[in-house]
């Protein structure tokens, strides 16, 4: 009886201690982790080895860190720590990082994946594969191509106003819609395009440019600091980079990909081409419709939007509101058509790559035609014509018809 009770007690105690016996399963303290903020991937030309560069946030160097912390050496100092390691595969390279980083690499907070141009020109399959396979990574991480440089330089650059440079890079995309000159490309988009038979990946490109000045005690010795800036759009052919659409011509691409969220355009004044007015377009509804004309698809882009007159420098009041609206609509149409044509020229003659999803649109609209002509699409694409039309509404127009200027003395 007594022994039986003791046995029961022993089992109960063992059961009670069981959760503690496991320790804290998979528990990792936040300060034992290296939070990766940005990662760059390059490939060496000869050996084919991958180099992975990670930008890790140092919590001690952040705002709002613990004051003192006793010794004080853990806190303060640089906000980031950049390290690189190489390996035969991306995963191996990351594992090699562990040889010298004191903390476990943690990917969940990664903002940006930068692909070096040389790697992008060769084959991005390993990158897409690794970053879609890893469950710690988010599908909403930006993916960009480092134009004309290796990814490691982008990742290690002290760029932007934020303490963590990766935040600055990430913010470039968050606000990329303002100038309307770059696209947002995240892992999700890239892998979707990558795995679709009709699409091809289109990534934002970044480059280093010596934009910022380093404040210095010596006024002569101000050094220039390279900053990461948006540099147009990288066009891929399935797995490899074939070229860039420059920033100036990238707006047409955005129109055609229906990714234009916000655009500001400069239009000539009515009846005077050397005076200008600025129009801002917000949240346009863009439709691209294919139409088969004599066995070849033709595309029509229609923009339907509200437009705000944000600035008007026209010195003379020449037209009434209705005429002004018609003028803006026409000029807008011309302007967008020009932008679209410029982009199409690059895509159709230089790159010969359907980066505007025309193939996909045709597939959806004319499946039979697409089935018959898919193998010839590469040859047909450079010939497809694009037309543009626009419809605008100008709210609060009355406020803008007369320029704000002092009355000329009589």
Partner 1 sequence: MAATMPTHLDQIKAAVQSEFGNTMDLIVRTFATGSGRSGLIVCFDGLAEGKGVETALNAVTHWTNPPFSYPMVDGDPITILKESLVGLPEVKVARKLDEVFTAVLQGQTAIFLEGAGTALLADTRYHPGRSVDEPATEAEVRAARDGFVENIILNITLVRRRIRDPKLRFEPQQIGRRTRTDVALAYIEDLADAKLVAEARRRLQRIEIDAVLGTGQIEELIRDSPLSPFATVAITERPDRVSAALLEGRVVIMLDNTPFCLMLPTVFWEYVQTPGDYQLSFLISSFLRLLRLIAILTALTLPSLYVILTTFHHEMIPTPLALSVAGGREGTPLPTLLEVLGMEITFEIIQEAGLRLPRAIGQTVSIVGALVIGEAAVQAGLVSPSTVIVIATAGITGFAIPSFSASLSIRLVRMPLLLLSGTLGVFGFIMGTSILALHLCSLRSFGVPFLSPVAPLRRMEQQDTLVRFPTWKLNRRPGLGLQDRSPRQKQDLMPQPPKGGGSS
Q: Does 28 bind partner 1 (CB under 8 A)?
A: yes
What DSSP letter does each residue of 203-244 carry, written as one string?
EEEEEEEEEEE---SSSTTPPEEEEEEEEEEEEEETTEEEEE
Cα atoms found within 13 Å of the Cα of residue 53, Cβ hemisphere only? 20
**For partner 1, which residue of 55, 111, 177, 305 counts as binding (CB under 8 A)?**
111
| Nearest distance, CB of residue 56 and partner 1, angstroms | 11
Angle between helices 125-133 and 187-195 (to 10 degrees): 120
Q: In this complex, which beta carbon is closest to partner 1, that of residue 106 or of residue 394?
A: 106
Q: Does 238 participate in binding partner 1 (rule CB under 8 A)?
A: no
Q: 276 CB contacts (<8 Å, ≥6 apart)?
A: 266, 267, 268, 269, 311, 313
Is beta strand 33-43 parallel, antiparallel or unpaired with respect to 104-106?
A: parallel
Number of residues engaging partner 1 in binding (CB under 8 A) = 37
Question: Please, what is the minimum distance in Å from the beta carbon of residue 79 to partner 1?
Answer: 9
DSSP 186: B
Q: Is 70 an interacting residue with respect to partner 1 (CB under 8 A)?
A: yes
In the bound state with partner 1, the residue whose beta carbon lies nearer, of 59 and 87, is: 59
- Whether residue 229 contacts residue 206, with contact meaning beta carbons closer than 8 Å, is answered with yes
Stretch that binds partner 1, among 40-48, 59-67, 273-281, 352-360 (CB under 8 A): 59-67
Applying CB under 8 A, which of residues 1, 27, 161, 408 lies at the interface with partner 1? 27
Q: 56-64 contacts: CB < 8 A, separation 24 or more? A: 56/80, 56/81, 56/82, 56/83, 56/101, 56/103, 56/105, 57/81, 57/109, 57/164, 57/166, 59/30, 59/31, 59/35, 61/163, 62/163, 62/164, 63/163
Structure tokens belonging to residue 27: 């528990």
Report the alpha-carbon distance of residue 325 to residue 309 in Å, rounded.
10
Residue 38 in the binding site for partner 1 (CB under 8 A): no
Q: How far is the CB of 189 from partner 1 (least distance, A)?
A: 21
3-class SS at 400?
Answer: coil
Residue-wise burial string across 244-253, b where 16 or more C-beta atoms lie within 10 A, e elsewhere: bbbbebbbbb
Residue choice 92, 106, 212, 401 for contact with partner 1 (CB under 8 A) = 106
CB of 159: closest distance to partner 1 in angstroms? 17
3-state secondary structure of 407: coil
Judged by CB under 8 A, does residue 66 bind partner 1? yes
Strands (E), 28-79: 33-43, 50-57
341 binds partner 1 (CB under 8 A): no
Member of 8, 12, 31, 211 binding partner 1 (CB under 8 A)? 31
- Tell me if 57 contacts partner 1 by CB under 8 A: yes
Residues 112-141 that bind partner 1 (CB under 8 A): 136, 138
Tell me the closest approach of the beta carbon of residue 55 to partner 1, in angstroms. Answer: 13
**72 to 101: interface string for partner 1, x by CB under 8 A:** --xx--------------------------
Question: Binding string, 169-208, against partner 1, x = CB under 8 A?
Answer: ----------------------------------------
Report the interface residues with partner 1, using CB under 8 A.
19-20, 22-31, 33, 35, 37, 57, 59-60, 62-71, 74-75, 106, 108-109, 111, 136, 138, 164
């Amino acid at each position: 009886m007594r022994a039986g009770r003791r046995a029961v007690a022993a089992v109960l105690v063992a059961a009670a201690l069981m959760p503690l016996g496991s320790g804290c399963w998979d528990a990792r303290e936040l300060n034992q982790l290296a939070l990766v903020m940005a990662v760059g991937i390059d490939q060496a030309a000869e050996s084919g080895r991958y180099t992975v560069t990670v930008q890790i946030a140092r919590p001690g160097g952040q705002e709002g860190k613990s004051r003192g912390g006793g010794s004080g050496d853990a806190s303060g100092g640089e906000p980031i720590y950049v390290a690189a390691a190489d390996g035969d595969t991306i995963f191996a390279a990351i594992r090699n990082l562990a040889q010298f980083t004191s903390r476990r690499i943690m990917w969940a907070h990664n903002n940006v994946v930068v692909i070096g141009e040389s790697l992008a020109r060769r084959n991005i399959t390993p990158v897409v594969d690794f970053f879609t396979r890893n469950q710690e990574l988010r599908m909403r991480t930006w993916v960009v191509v480092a134009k004309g440089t290796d990814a490691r330089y982008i990742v290690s650059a002290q760029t932007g106003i934020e303490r963590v440079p990766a935040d600055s890079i990430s913010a470039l995309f968050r606000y990329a819609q303002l100038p309307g000159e770059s696209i947002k490309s995240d892992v999700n988009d890239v892998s979707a395009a990558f795995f679709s038979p009709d699409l091809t990946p289109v990534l934002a490109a970044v480059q280093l440019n010596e934009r910022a000045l380093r404040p210095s005690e010596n006024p002569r010795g101000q050094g220039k600091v390279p900053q990461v800036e948006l540099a147009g759009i990288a066009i891929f052919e399935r797995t490899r980079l074939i070229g860039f659409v420059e920033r100036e011509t990238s707006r047409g691409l955005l129109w055609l990909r229906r990714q234009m969220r916000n655009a500001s355009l400069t239009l000539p004044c009515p009846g005077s081409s050397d005076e200008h007015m600025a129009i801002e377009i917000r949240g346009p509804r863009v439709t691209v419709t294919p139409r088969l004309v004599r066995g070849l698809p033709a595309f029509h882009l229609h923009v339907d939007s509200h437009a705000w007159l944000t600035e008007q420098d026209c010195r003379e009041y020449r037209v009434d509101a209705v005429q002004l609206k018609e003028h803006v609509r026409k000029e807008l149409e011309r302007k967008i058509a020009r932008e679209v044509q410029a982009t199409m020229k690059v895509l159709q003659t230089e790159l010969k790559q359907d980066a505007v999803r025309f193939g996909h649109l045709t597939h959806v609209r004319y499946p039979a035609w697409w089935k018959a002509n898919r193998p010839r699409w590469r040859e047909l694409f450079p010939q497809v014509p694009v037309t543009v039309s626009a419809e605008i509404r100008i709210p609060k127009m009355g406020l803008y018809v007369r320029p704000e200027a002092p009355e000329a003395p009589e």
